[in-house]
Amino acid sequence: MKFLCIDCDAQMTFEERQQPGDGTFAASFTCPTCGRRVAMLANPMETQLVSTLGVEIGGRTLDEQPLEFTRANMQGRDDAFAEDPERTPRSPRPVWSSDAEARLAKVPSFVRGMVKKIYSDYARERSIAEITPALMDRAREELGLEGM
Ligand SMILES: [Zn+2]
């Protein structure tokens, strides 16, 4: 916080500061050119405000880096999307035979989506158009997915 002497357009120098202990805050400043003095008196609430402002300004300066870090991360993610399977041209989504569907239905629902994706990916990577129980067995064996 700075005080300027309007007449001299000079920054007043800090002269004295008092904190009587009741939460108020008093400070006096002197103009180095004309010698004019001003005093600032803040009530407890204002004193609190000044303290808080100081903390916030400091905090904001410190926050700059994490924000930029986040932005950089998001840009990095964009690059990562280039390898996203959905964007990479691949074989069409395989169909599930009714036998395979029935078998998938026995998988606990909370992992079914994941299991379905594993088999689908397995089939797509090998350009297999239909997922059958036989293929599921093969995938399980190859991927080491016992119990799926
Ligand atoms: Zn002055």
Q: What is the pLDDT of residue 52?
A: 61
Residue 71 CB coordination number (10 Å): 10
Phi-psi region of 80 (alpha: psi -120 to 50; beta: other; left: phi over 0): alpha
Which residues touch 146 (CB under 8 Å, ≥6 apart)? 140
CA of 50 to the centre of ligand 1 (A): 25
Residue of 72 and 139 predicted with greater confidence: 139
Task: Please name the residue ranges forming H helices in the chain.
Answer: 44-81, 98-105, 109-125, 133-143
**Cα(33) to centroid of ligand 1, in Å?**
5
One DSSP character per residue, 83-108 reads T-TTTS--PPPPEEPHHHHHHHHTS-
**Per-residue confidence (pLDDT) for residue 9, from 0 to 100:** 92
Residue 107: per-residue pLDDT: 81
Distance 27 CA to ligand 1 centre (A): 17
Identify the CA nearest to 6 among candidates 40, 39, 31. 31
Determine the distance separating the centroid of ligand 1 and the alpha carbon of 57, expressed in angstroms. Answer: 29
Give residue 33's pLDDT. Answer: 94
Average pLDDT in the chain: 74
Q: Report the separation in Å between the CA atom of 28 and the middle of ligand 1, taken as the mean of its atom positions.
A: 14
What's residue 75's pLDDT?
A: 44
- Do residues 146 and 140 lie in contact, with contact meaning Cβ atoms separated by under 8 Å? yes
Q: Which residues pair with 42 in a beta bridge?
A: 25
In the reported structure, the alpha carbon of residue 8 is separated from the centroid of ligand 1 by a whole-number distance in angstroms of 4
Q: How far apart are CA 116 and CA 98, in angstroms?
A: 14
Between helix 109-125 and helix 98-105 the angle, nearest 10°, is 140
pTM, two decimal places: 0.39
Which has more confidence, 92 or 55?
A: 92
pLDDT at residue 46 greater than cutoff 90: no
Kindly give the distance from the C-alpha atom of residue 7 to the centroid of ligand 1, in angstroms, as a whole number. Answer: 5
With b for 16 or more beta-carbon neighbours within 10 A and e for fewer, the 105-125 pattern comes to: eeeeeeeeeebbebbbebbbe
For residue 20, how far is its CA from the centre of ligand 1 (angstroms)? 28
**pLDDT-based confidence at residue 144 (cuts at 50, 70, 90):** confident
Q: If you measure from the C-alpha of residue 12 to the centroid of ligand 1, how many angstroms do you get, rounded to a whole number? A: 8
Helix H or strand E segment including 27? strand 25-30
pLDDT tens, position by position, 56-74: 433 443 334 444 444 444 4
**pLDDT above 90 coverage of the chain, percent:** 24
Q: Is the pLDDT of residue 50 over 50?
A: yes
Least confident among 36-45, 73-82, 124-133, 136-145: 73-82
What residues pack around ion ligand 1 (CB closer than 5 A)? Answer: 5, 7-8, 31, 33-34, 36
